[in-house]
Amino acid sequence: MSEEAGIVKIALVSCGSEYSGVQPEFEAAATEVNAKFVYPEIDVAGLDNIGREFGLEVASGDLRLMMARAKAVVEGTTHVDGVFITTCFRCAEGAIVRNEVRRYIHKHSNIPVISYSFTERTTAGTLLTRLEALTTVARRRHLLAREAQTGLTAGIDSGSTTTKAVVMRDNEIIGSGWVPTTKVLESAEEAYSLALKEAGVPREEIQALGTTGYGRFLIGKHFNAQLIQEEITVNSKGAVYLADCQTGPATVIDIGGMDNKAISVDDGIPGMFTMGGICAGASGRFFEMISKRLGVDITELGALAVKGVQENVTMNSYCIVFGIQSLVNSLAKGAIPEDVAAAACYSVVEQIFEQQLQEVDVKEPLILVGGSSLIEGVPKALGDLLKIDVLVPKNSHLIGAVGAALLASGYVEE
């Protein structure tokens, strides 16, 4: 890690983000997580031949600069703790280089990497969770090495749609709570109380608490949590723990209420990851709307979907509005609810495949988590699409809360 106390050095490998008006946002997000961007030194004269050397010849100078900077990082010419690779959204040449540079760094080093495509509307808030995860992997690797929960700890996951809480004792979940998120603090209080009640332990006895999810900062401060952590590291840890795949490679897909995460994990530590999507059409929110329109409870949608044939209905959930239009049109044409439910599940996983799984190397086991993993049609559709077995661990919907309780137990011993 950087010699400057606590500061994580992140190499910014970009095609010219400073021209897009987003550079101040990048800097603001980095400052927020106590990181700073560095720009690996390269020999400008070498840029004319770097394409041939790298094996990817492109016309844009800044894309060649990206390759040269990636090479400087891999060869250790510039020492960094993480790499942020970013190019303009909608640039094909940039997307090709971004992906290949990410693969190159991942193949030739152990440095954590994230990649992102920006528009002029990208904000620091959008980047915060990603950079927080990147700095956590660099800064707190020892914490992520934890494989068993010890003592009496709790975790609260304040998600965009639901709030989950668990109480764990000596590597066992002894209480859980799962409530819809309305007011962030009140929902957290309710879920936590339910978990404590089921566990039969008073709040004062909890030795350490971890919080995660969108509301993590607010509830973490409120409950005086020992660990306040973004959901990428917490969920990947929780997923491999619940699926009992803590060593070796794994891929975690978390379909959340508002966004999705695809995380490539090695020994429980996230490597490459992406957060999507562009529209809620690929998230749990879409399933909620589909259930509502079909007049079934969301807990019944999965059973309905496994009975249906997705090919009978064309559904485009790239955008939630178009997705609902497809739904209305297909019902009007006489489609049966089972087929619609199956098509909805397939549409969501297809979008995850097209937009997110291209950016991480999918390695088995594939662990599906998040509330949507409980909709049986979703793991089935994902398995059908990828032609591999999809693992849905027990308590997969509690993933964030379990991961937080597990990681928080590191503070019991400290």
Partner 1 sequence: MAKVFIYPVNSLILADLVERFGHKPLAVMNQVREKVTNISLDSPPVNITPEDPKVGLRYAAVEVPAGVRGRMSLIGPLIEDAEAAIIVEAPPVNFGCVGCNRTNELMRYLVRSKDIPILELRYPDSEENAPEFVYKIKAFLESLPREEEK
Minimum distance from CB of 413 to partner 1 (Å)? 42
Is 23 an interacting residue with respect to partner 1 (CB under 8 A)?
A: yes
Helices (H), 23-175: 23-32, 50-54, 61-74, 92-108, 124-139, 141-144
Q: Check residue 354 for interaction with partner 1 (CB under 8 A).
A: no
Considering only CA atoms, which of 85, 93, 36 is closest in space to residue 60? 93
> Which residues does residue 266 pair with via DSSP β-bridges, in sequence order?
249, 269
- Considering beta carbons, is residue 19 or 110 the nearer one to partner 1? 19
Residues 6+ apart with CB under 8 A from 236: 252, 263, 265, 268, 269, 270, 273, 403
CB of 70 to partner 1, least distance (A): 15
Phi, psi at residue 352, to the nearest 5°? -65, -40
Q: Let me know: does 340 contact 330? Beta carbons within 8 Å.
A: yes
Q: Choose between 4 and 18: whose C-beta lies nearer to partner 1.
A: 18
Q: Label residue 34 left, alpha or beta by phi (over 0 means left) and psi (-120 to 50 means alpha).
A: left
Asked if 89 interacts with partner 1 (CB under 8 A), we say yes
> Which two structure tokens, joined as six digits, stand for 240?
């491999």
How many binding residues for partner 1 (CB under 8 A)? Answer: 35
Is 11 or 282 the residue whose CB approaches partner 1 more closely? 11
124 near partner 1, judged by CB under 8 A? no
| Residue 56 CB burial class (10 angstroms; 0-12, 13-18, ≥19) | middle
Interaction of residue 52 with partner 1, rule CB under 8 A: no
- Interface residue with partner 1, options 88, 137, 343, 349 (CB under 8 A): 88
**What residues contact 95, with CB distance under 8 A and at least 6 apart?**
87, 117
Q: Is 16 in the site for partner 1 (CB under 8 A)?
A: yes
Binding to partner 1 by residue 125, rule CB under 8 A?
A: no
Contact region with partner 1 (CB under 8 A), list: 21-29, 104-112, 179-187, 371-379: 21-29
127 near partner 1, judged by CB under 8 A: no
Contact 364, 251 (CB under 8 A): yes
Q: Is 332 in the site for partner 1 (CB under 8 A)?
A: no
Give the Cα separation of 14 and 17 in Å (integer).
6
DSSP 8-state secondary structure symbol assigned to residue 359: S
CA dihedral 392, 394, 211, 207 (to 10 degrees): -150
Q: Considering beta carbons, is residue 120 or 311 the nearer one to partner 1? A: 120
Query: Which of residues 3, 52, 55, 59 is near partner 1 by CB under 8 A?
Result: 59
**198 sits near partner 1 (criterion: CB under 8 A):** no
Two tokens at 345? 């599940």
User: Looking at 4, 6, 24, 180, which residue binds partner 1 (CB under 8 A)?
Assistant: 24
State how beta strands 162-169 and 172-180 pair: antiparallel
176 scored as a contact of partner 1 (CB under 8 A): no
Q: Are strands 162-169 and 82-88 parallel, antiparallel or unpaired?
A: unpaired
Question: At 125, which amino acid appears?
Answer: G
Nearer to partner 1, 59 or 332 (CB): 59
- Residue closer to partner 1 by CB (options 118, 223) is 118
Identity of the residue, 48 or 170, whose beta carbon is nearer to partner 1 in the bound complex: 48
Of 66 and 324, nearer to partner 1 (C-beta) is 66
Binding site for partner 1 (CB under 8 A): 12, 15-24, 39, 44-45, 47-48, 58-65, 87-91, 93-94, 118-121
